[in-house]
Structure 1
Amino acid sequence: MRPVRSAGPQLDKLIRRDQLEAARASLQQSLPINGLLGLASCLVAIHSGHGTLGGVWFSASTAVNLLRLGLCRAPCPGLATPTDGTSSGETAARSIDWHLQLACLAALLSGLVWAFLPALCDGYTSGQTLFYLTVTCGITAGAVTHGTSFARIPICFITPPLLSAAGCLLAAGGFDRICLAATVLLYLTALIRSTIATEKTFRETSRLKYEATVLAEARKAAHASASALAEEMHQQATHDGLTGLLNRTGFTQRAEARMAASEAICLMLLDLDGFKLVNDVYGHTMGDRVLIEVARRIRSALPAECDIARLGGDEFAVVFERSRVIENPVALAERLIWTVTEPFDSFDAGRLGMSVGICQWPTESLTHLLSCADEALYAAKHAGRNHFRLFDDGLRRRLEMRRECERGLSQALAEGALKVWFQPIFGRDGRSVTSLEALVRWHHPVHGWVSPPDLIAAAAMAGLTESLLRFILEQVCTMLCALRSRNLDDLSVAMNVSPREMAQIPVDDIILARLQTLGLPTAMLEIEITEETALDIDAVQGKLLALSRAGIRVALDDFGNGYSSLASLRQLRADRVKIDRSLVTGLTEAEDKRELVQAVLGLGRALDLEVVAEGIETADDLATLQAMGCPFMQGFHLGRPQPAEDILRSLEDLADRPRPIHLHGSRPSF
């Protein structure tokens, strides 16, 4: 049996309540047996010529039994009132102790009555001695058997009659009686030890019961808290915190669902005219109030069948199925413009306007639909304030011209115009480099620096997704070889793999084959996937599993910007999560962001995941993250992306110096 652990005061009160309840129940079962044995003893006394004495004894025994029965059935506030820390709970706990003490006194009184049993057999010297000794041993053994919950009650009952029997046997003298007296005392000792042991067992069982209950309640509360956190994170991920409208993630989900259900989709992109001036003149607080009011006006002006989103800044989006909205999109756009340009109480009328781009062409993807609507919005803004524009053939031709980058990507790859730069990731001290992230760069001869998302989209449109992946992988492997040659193989390098790459090409086979050919350890490579990849787990899970089993680490980028990543971490076999820069930027001033970041850090500790905060651009945000215990950090404030040769020189300088240094370098102008 496990020893009874020390229980807290509150737990001890609950255990004592269980002891009282069990003692009452067992006593009500044993009292009838006590009465029957008393009656048998009285009848034997009458038969042996001690009728008067037997009758007096039996009357006393019956009276005490009735008293004990009354105490068992007497109301006890402690059995009906919770024994918590309140004043009523303390009163209830005291009532339980009081009833236990009364039960002990009543048991002692009953034991004293049975201690006079030798008077019915001339001090255990008559012919009825064997009968009365047997009754005494039987009733004391029964008291111990039934009194398992609270040892003092059976001890108070059994001690007087057994001591009385031993004393009478010793007084009678004779070797046999003296040995029998010693046996009775030994029997008493054994019964006392037994009842103490059974009470310990009872208390341990009761303690385990309450601890299990507390654990179950704690698990239930933790589950409720986790569900609430997940719901909050989902709300944060799909809705704009300022206006309450859908954000870009939520809008993407709704729009794609509508496109899956119907081909006749209309998308409207709305952009405020003159909002920057409002911010500059009246301040960002007023700007936020204006955005909230604009969101309210847009919502009230549109049919309920429309989904409305704030995509960021002063840009809004509306999507609906044309079959479910009777009003013409042009009429809707005019009404929206009129609604937004109504005077505001906070500043001069006419200061704020709105431009609208409309696309209702059937398209194969939301990305294409957004590109078309964005082209229409650009044309509307170019026409002046408070205009709308429908996407038409003219805009389609211009959009095609703007996709020169896509057509020039193949030549850029062939001529080596693309570059891979590397940005360091730092430890908690913000000074020691722990790993690198590879970032692809392209300086277009006409359009200048092309951002990585645009580059990946261009590769997809040009059918060069696999070629781009192989190019980036080759540059990363070159960096890994350089690190090994400089005894820096404790550093790993992360490369981003887009959702399209992960879904459409054998990423796992390509990467593993190249590492094996070059003899590079898999532990030096890390794959970063975005949350969008997590939305289609079935398409990528097998590839990620193969990479993970080979020893390549998997990191989930942009974490905290959506819901699916929270539910899919283990399925994606992620070793690391990177907190989205939207939660890190301005962290010091935003309490809600700090709470979410702290939640992600706690989740990382609970699931044994490394957590990286990206997008650190100020010393204040860095200090806040360090105070919160963030283990890994990345951002322009710590170190900018640099060409391979520059980052290698910086790493060598760092290795040669007694103290780590910050890595800073040039970066593209986008």
Structure 2
Amino acid sequence: MGKFNDDFSFVKRGSQFLVLTVIFLSVIALGGDQLYGIFGKNNYVTIHLMMEILIIVVTMAISIQAWLVSPYILSKRVLYAGALFLTISLIEIAHALSYKGMPFFITESTPYAATWFYMLGRLLLSIGGLVLLFMKDKEVKITFRWQIYPLPFLIIIACFAILYAPTSILPSLIIEGEGPTALKNTLQYLAVLLHIVIIIVLLKKFKRAPKIIFLSVGSAIYLIMSDYLFTIYRDVYDIKNFIGHIFQLSSFYLLFRAIYFSSIEKPFQQLIDTQEHLEKSREQMHYMAYHNEVTNLPNDRFLMETLKRNLYITTSHKAIIAIGIERISAIKASLGNTYADQMIDLIAQRLKNVIPEKYDLCMLREDYFVIFIDEVVHTHQLTQLSQQLQLVMEESFQVQHFSLNSQLNIGISLFPTDSNREEELLRFALYAMHEAHKIPSRIRFYESSMSSEMTERLVLENDLHDALDNEELYLEYQPQINLQSGEIKSVEALIRWQHPKKGWISPGVFIPIAEESGLIIPIGQWVLETACRQVKQWEAAGLPPMKVAVNLSLGQLFQQNLVEMIQQVLDKTQLDAQFLQLEITESMTINSNHMTTILLQLKGLGVTIAVDDFGTGYSSLSYLKDFPIDCLKIDRSFVQKIHAESTDKALVDMILSMAKHLQLKVVAEGIEEIDQLSYLVNSKCDAVQGFLFSKPIQPEILQESYKSLHNHVKSILDSISVLEN
């Protein structure tokens, strides 16, 4: 807006000068003869003196301005410009004092000295202007001005010496009653020619400084117009002479404006612009310091200051609601920060649509949302709001070409019931949020027992970062028995953690931590590579080729280079792809678009795909015909109740029948009793695994006891045949 105003003012002033020019030229064209001597012949000396005084004031002002700014600018060009206009100012003084009709000055005033003073000043202006244009500007010392500014006085002394010599050295430029001589006109046109060159040079540089060059070109045009009028007027009483002086004065004024703008106004405006920019930068920095850059929501700094300011104003009950986005760490680790940030921003938009404006919604650095409610009437109010927040999460998020789903884990702490300190209140809400995933509603109020549980969880997460490097993680393998041949043709790789201080830690404890923290990506790659290498080691030890089943997490399935990584592992371990089976869970099939693409790419490598824990995911069975699946694994919860619950038996029968029609293999997990095995054998199940045959064992033990395991399997299967007979 400021630039627009400057440009408008710029154009407006230019148009004003154009109108005045047209008026003066019209006066000359239409009434030059009628206006001859219009001011009275006795007044022309006074009028000329007034015009010259104004010209002297302007030129002297330019010189003084250059002198005053030189300590700050230290420009060679500025100093020479100041000296040039000081010279012109002194010459104009001499011209005014020697003008015909002025009192005695050295000698009687005649047109001779006055005209030559004018012409010398005019030529000096054109030549000096050209020199300044082509001069290479550089920084000079402040003392340099004391060397430059004495020159004008030497020049004016030389002019006096020549023009007031006892005998005339120079020819006359004016013949009284006739007007300018040919020599004067020649010198005048020479000055015009030099100024035309100046205009051409200036126009070539117009884009560098439009306003300065516009004013300079306008000054040159007015000076040329004054030159022309000074070559055609008859005598001093001619209106052309008067208007010529008007144009000359206007020319010096525009030149003064150009120099003033370049040396004072423009630097000052730049200083103002810099200050405004700094102020805006401060405001922007302040905004950035108190807002999250992804969602533009207030951040943790804003939240803590709000709590300190508002928590103790009234004694009313208040609450902190902490909202965690499930699997966001896995998405960030697998798809990258760009996808995760886009999803977080979309979630923020949905939350803002639900949360009343009087509540403060903030975004913490750890990708948690926090709501501060400064007046709570009843806890049911908080539960109802939390349920509304979860409801808006049911629809999938479209992040570029991915359709992503997530759930919210919500933790709530109350003031002053849980704590009367702002930091504790926030921490307790986060504790409750981390525990919320353990219950179906995923909404939990803080309980004092959570503090120790959360501390333990954070310690485990910290230790898990080092577990891989410290070789605390290892794999065990549970044999899978082919019921048709009675042989061990495949195993399932299961990860274990032997903590140096806490001992054995269940995968059910540390796997969720790995998924939330994003550690599942490097851990999953290590599991895959270790399992493939182990199969090749068994083969080298003389065991028959075996297929190894490896579980994939949701985070890995969204890993951008998953297919390339698996191919690299197969190449590195030299394992044939047919001996690797990748297992996904039924809950992962919800995101069908992405899942279809990634599973087809994995199938293209030659590996097989199995659905683990089948029957527990509550998802549509349509994915069985859409996905390239090879195997279904019946969850142990169904197998263990085959005889106890007729419903589970019916489900197992349905799974086996459906798999047969879809030409899928079926593996039953959790076989612990002979009766369970017998039922599955009779039902034509393809393979089983469970403690009845072997618990998960270390690879060395499996290798050493491979034959005895086979004998054990054979004896169990034989016992079933005997029982049936």
Larger radius of gyration: 2
Fold match (TM-score > 0.5): no
Please report the TM-score for the alignment, with normalisation by the length of structure 2: 0.39
